[in-house]
Amino acid sequence: MPIRSEWFTHRLRVRYAETDQMGVVYHANYLNWFEQARTEWTRHHGVTYRSLEDQGLYLPVVNLTIQYRNAARYDDEIAVNVRVIELTPLRICFEYNVFGDQTAGTPSLLVTGTSEHVWVDHEWKPTRLSKVAPDIYQQFMQAVQEVE
């Protein structure tokens, strides 16, 4: 079922090592920022990736989209907004908007994207979160139902 949860914002500053010879953020770093934001989204909602893995649950990426609109540069303040757009017992999908130049007053949209993940067990077999960890499933369901 498609949903639209509240946006969660993860802030960061572009490090020099994340830029390329042209002085802009290398394109693959946005994917790392997506991961950081969704990790912090789960932590914000009471679940750490470590606790998932301790229970033998993993959340690999099975589909990813990304659209580059503008470039970020070294030392820019960045806001990575993330929200859940689909949650089922088997999968979870996130949407991302990355905004830059937080110091300028009007942030510019740099990147948009989505990532789709499937719950798997320690043998990498798809599993239903609602059966193997119903408490975590309920936490996530409550997180996405907080928005009317």
17 in the Ramachandran plot: left (φ > 0), alpha (ψ -120 to 50) or beta? alpha
Catalytic residues: 20
CA distance readout (Å), 129 to 31, 33, 42, 50, 60: 25, 25, 14, 16, 14
Q: HEC states along 53-90? A: HHCCCECCEEEEEEEECCCCECCCEEEEEEEEEEECCC
